[in-house]
Amino acid sequence: MDIRFDCTQCGRCCHDLRLPLSIDEAIVWAGRGHDVQLLCDALPSLSGDPPEEIVARFRHDRSFPAMSGGLPIRVAIILVARHAGACPHLLPDMRCGNYADRPRVCRIYPAEIAPHVRLDIQNKLCPPEAWAGDRPLLLRDGFVADAGLGSLIAAHRAAAQSDAPAKARAAMLLGARTAALWNEGYAVRAPAPDDLVAALVEARASMEEVDTGAHWSIVSNRKSTLAMLRDADADGRFCRSDAGYIGFFADEG
């Protein structure tokens, strides 16, 4: 099946941002004084070996080893440009005022980054005319049709993988030690832009090995999850959905 697309510059995807950024991009974004958050999640990792299944492998490759209580885990951190309302770079006529330097995800959208996620136009913000039959080919049978776009997606995935050790070091510098359970939500850390830049620059320059014994708490808003974490000897803590936790499920209790 073909999916055709051309941006109409409606500006919808440039509002209420949570744009995933590489470390290089986050340093530039936060260096301009804009907010960048850390979204942290964790998954038990008993064997430590890279899994073969595609979803688990994708997550494994952008995570780093750590501990929660007596449970070995892998923590993944997504750096996101966060902005309520219009992006600070959006011009009144809905053009990007940062076009030449816009983050990779701004160039990739509405295509997907994760290899296992199929593009569903119903989930995208683009208006119907953006998908009209006379638009350039975006996807054919689920595969990206444009080599330039394919290279951007590959570069974004490669950065997420190579950035993982520096994210582990930056988290320690920022005192971020809390993660949500994978697929349940994210623990959110929102450092001041200057502090984030300093931590990322230092972490990126460091050659220190990732501390595989670093302790992380796992937060959840579900009692059933906390019971499971307790049984697994993990350090689980209750957390309501608020500024410090984005839960995919309703709070329990």
Q: Is 89 in the site for ligand SF4 (CB under 6 A)?
A: yes
The residues, any chain, with a CB within 8 Å of residue 209's CB and separated by 6 or more, are none
Instruction: Please tell me the number of Cα atoms within 13 Å of 84 on its side-chain side.
Output: 0
Strands 236-238 and 178-181: unpaired
Q: Is 152 in the site for ligand SF4 (CB under 6 A)?
A: no
Count of residues that bind ligand SF4 according to CB under 6 A: 21
Q: Smallest distance from the beta carbon of 138 to ligand SF4, in angstroms?
A: 11
Contact between 40 and 180 under an 8 Å Cβ cutoff? The reply is yes
Contact pick of 3, 30, 130, 174 for ligand SF4 (by CB under 6 A): 130
Nearer to ligand SF4, 11 or 191 (CB): 11
Stretch that binds ligand SF4, among 63-71, 104-112, 189-197, 204-212 (CB under 6 A): 104-112
Contact pick of 2, 10, 120, 121 for ligand SF4 (by CB under 6 A): 10
Stretch that binds ligand SF4, among 105-113, 162-170, 171-179, 232-240 (CB under 6 A): 105-113
110-to-123, 230, 232, 251 alpha-carbon distances in Å: 9, 40, 39, 31
Residue ranges with strand state E in the chain: 2-4, 15-21, 36-44, 63-68, 71-86, 137-140, 143-144, 178-181, 185-189, 217-220, 236-238, 245-247
Nearer to ligand SF4, 130 or 179 (CB): 130
Q: What's the burial of 75, exposed, middle or buried (CB within 10 Å: 0-12/13-18/19+)?
A: buried
Stretch that binds ligand SF4, among 8-16, 68-76, 171-179, 205-213 (CB under 6 A): 8-16
The residues, any chain, with a CB within 8 Å of residue 159's CB and separated by 6 or more, are 22, 23, 24, 104
Q: Is 229 in the site for ligand SF4 (CB under 6 A)?
A: no
Nearer to ligand SF4, 135 or 172 (CB): 135
Q: Is 210 in the site for ligand SF4 (CB under 6 A)?
A: no
Nearer to ligand SF4, 50 or 85 (CB): 85
Binding site for ligand SF4 (CB under 6 A): 7-14, 17, 87, 89-90, 96, 98, 102, 106, 109-110, 125-126, 130
